[in-house]
Amino acid sequence: MDKTSADVNDIVNHGSSFWIAVRISMVFIVLCGLLYPLASTGIAQLLMPERANGSLIKDSGGQVIGSELIGQSFTDPKYFHGRVSSINYDAGASGSNNYAPSNPDLIERTKASIEEWEKNNPDVPVSEVPLSLITNSGSGLDPHITPESAKVQIPRISSLTGIPASELEDLVDEHTEGRDLGLFGEPRVNVLKLNLALQPLLNQR
């Protein structure tokens, strides 16, 4: 075989390899980019439609007011408050400042949280406040607090609303979620759900 024939064969072989690669790529684009997403979405909608749609929470009128998975900022002292969020619970900017304990900004923010607590909760000393209530979660979106973090706010809410503390304690207990499968995680309270349950009691006052 002369050099010219060899060059032609190389070109033909390269051309064949190119179109084989194109066909394989198209197959995987269809499989991974179209069929797999459609199949996984369909299965999710069939088996767990609520979770697949974002675990949305709606009011009595059917209006979406939030998600079970994303916290919200509650500033009214008559409501239960969630964890500190350095991103103001902005789901489009998930994350938090990875400050070291000695970072001046973290120290100042913690001092501000403590001062706000002392101002709004004069009946509960800072020493009794769970640490998680004045610290940021890793994502800044945590919708939950511990049962202790909820109950330590009861004296403030009871004083401002006139709702008996025992009634508020029962409300927290009713909305305390246990460990997943009884083993994983810790007991927790979804702040938005808790405040929604609190609303009818506030409306009665």
Q: What would the pLDDT profile of 37-78 be if each residue is shown by its tens digit?
A: 888 888 877 887 777 677 788 877 778 888 888 889 898 999
Residues 170 and 74 in one domain: yes
Q: Which of 16-30, 88-102, 130-144, 169-183 has the lowest mean pLDDT?
A: 88-102
Residues 143 and 190 in one domain: yes
Residues 43 and 59 in one domain: no
Share of the chain above pLDDT 70, in %: 92
Q: Looking at the predicted structure, is the pLDDT value of residue 8 above 50?
A: no
Q: How many domains does the chain have?
A: 2
Summarize the confidence of residues 8-32 as an average pLDDT. 75
- Range of the structural domain that residue 188 is part of: 55-203
Residues 12 and 103 in one domain: no
Helix axes 165-174, 191-203, angle to 10 degrees: 140
Judge whether 143 and 192 are in contact, CB under 8 Å.
yes
Judge whether 169 and 151 are in contact, CB under 8 Å.
yes
Residues 113 and 16 in one domain: no
The confidence score (pLDDT) of residue 10 equals: 56
Give the list of residues 6+ apart from residue 155 with CB closer than 8 angstroms, or none: 121, 123, 124, 165
Residues 13 and 86 in one domain: no
Higher pLDDT, 117 or 92: 117
- Helices assigned H by DSSP within 152-190: 154-161, 165-174
Summarize the confidence of residues 74-86 as an average pLDDT. 91
Residues 21 and 110 in one domain: no
Residues 90 and 167 in one domain: yes
Residues 41 and 107 in one domain: no
Closest residue by Cα to residue 82 from 125, 122, 139, 127: 139
Q: Which of 35, 50, 65 is the last residue of a domain?
A: 50
Q: Which of 3-12, 105-114, 130-139, 155-164 has the lowest mean pLDDT?
A: 3-12
Higher pLDDT, 54 or 115: 115
Residues 9 and 64 in one domain: no
Residues 100 and 44 in one domain: no
Which pLDDT band holds residue 190 (cuts at 50, 70, 90)? very high
Residue type, 134: I
CA separation (Å) from 117 to 80, 85, 113, 122, 136?
12, 15, 6, 8, 15
Higher pLDDT, 16 or 200: 200
Closest residue by Cα to residue 149 from 55, 84, 202, 98: 84
Residues 71 and 17 in one domain: no
Give the list of residues 6+ apart from residue 121 with CB closer than 8 angstroms, or none: 129, 152, 153, 155, 156
